[in-house]
Amino acid sequence: MISLFFSQPLAFLIIFPLLLLSITFHEWAHCLVTDKLGDPTPRAKGRLTLDPRAHLEPLGVVAMLLTGFGWGKPAPFDPYNLREPIRDTALIAAAGPLANITVALIASLLLKLELTGGLDLLAIVLIQLIGLNLMLAVFNLIPVGPLDGAKILLAVLPKTTALEYEDFMTKHGTLVLILLIVPWAGGISPVSRIVSPVVGMVSGWLR
């Protein structure tokens, strides 16, 4: 991402703010669903807002600049406030990617209905919104470490397997995630090899 600033500064000035807003919406969706499921923790911590300052994690923003992949502040919740902790934790986790997919679908609809008023810049913004939000959705659905996919997977695994997987990810998940987002041979990160083909294919359908 930082290389884009030097090679195509105008593109950077469009893409980076959109990415920050997309991450904000992702984390807000987690907090909203948590609140709807009866846990007041996000509300008490001031997270039921679309203000990016409430949801952006400085380290995640730096990682985004350096690697192209980043994250926001984890949505706070107390499982003891949930009626069905395992199920509800999975629903909270799924809310973020679903929010990003929703944004991508709305942007696609506006693009296909040609509701840009002939403005090329607006069309570019919509195209970027599709790609960025699909990227966030697919990236967060990877079942590793602190990502949403791991929490969703825990809800569907057999109990013994889920406990073993949770223990492994608690101890090593962050390291695994770092190894996935850091560029390896050829300057491409393993997560890019996973996410980019999926995003490219789905973006092609939506545009």
Q: What is the pLDDT of residues 93-145, one digit of tens each?
A: 999 999 999 999 999 998 888 766 666 778 888 899 999 999 999 999 999 98
Structurally, the chain folds into a number of domains equal to 1
What was the pLDDT predicted at 185? Answer: 73
What was the pLDDT predicted at 189? Answer: 85
What was the pLDDT predicted at 59? Answer: 86
Give, in degrees to the nearest 5, the angle at Cα 88 between 96 and 61.
Answer: 30
Weakest mean pLDDT among 16-20, 107-111, 115-119, 186-190: 115-119
pLDDT in tens, 169-181: 999 998 998 888 8
Cβ atoms of 108 and 115 closer than 8 Å = no
What was the pLDDT predicted at 161? Answer: 96
Q: Report, as an integer, the average pLDDT of 177-188.
A: 82
Looking from the CA of 7 toward its CB, the CA atoms found within 13 Å total 4
Q: Is the whole-model pTM more than 0.85?
A: yes
Q: Find the domain containing 189 and state its range.
A: 2-206
Residue with tokens 């990502």: 147
Give, in degrees to the nearest 5, the angle at Cα 103 between 99 and 1.
Answer: 95
Residue with tokens 């997987």: 165
Q: Is the pLDDT of residue 166 over 70?
A: yes
How many helical (H) and strand (E) elements, i.e. helices and strands, does the chain have?
Answer: 9, 0
Weakest mean pLDDT among 8-22, 75-89, 159-173: 8-22
Reduced 3-state DSSP string for 53-83: HHCECHHHHHHHHHHCCCCECCCCCCHHHCC
**Selection from 10, 4, 91, 77 nearest residue 42 by Cα:** 77
**Selection from 63, 24, 56 nearest residue 181 by Cα:** 63
Q: What are the distances in angstroms from CA 62 to CA 16, 69, 74, 114, 197?
A: 12, 9, 16, 35, 24
pLDDT in tens, 28-53: 999 999 999 999 999 999 999 999 99
What was the pLDDT predicted at 156? Answer: 94
The two tokens of residue 84 are 């069905």
Cβ atoms of 11 and 4 closer than 8 Å = yes
What was the pLDDT predicted at 107? Answer: 92
pLDDT in tens, 67-94: 777 788 989 999 999 999 999 999 999 9
Cβ atoms of 90 and 152 closer than 8 Å = yes
pLDDT in tens, 191-206: 888 888 888 888 888 8
What was the pLDDT predicted at 184? Answer: 80
Q: Is the pLDDT of residue 155 over 90?
A: yes
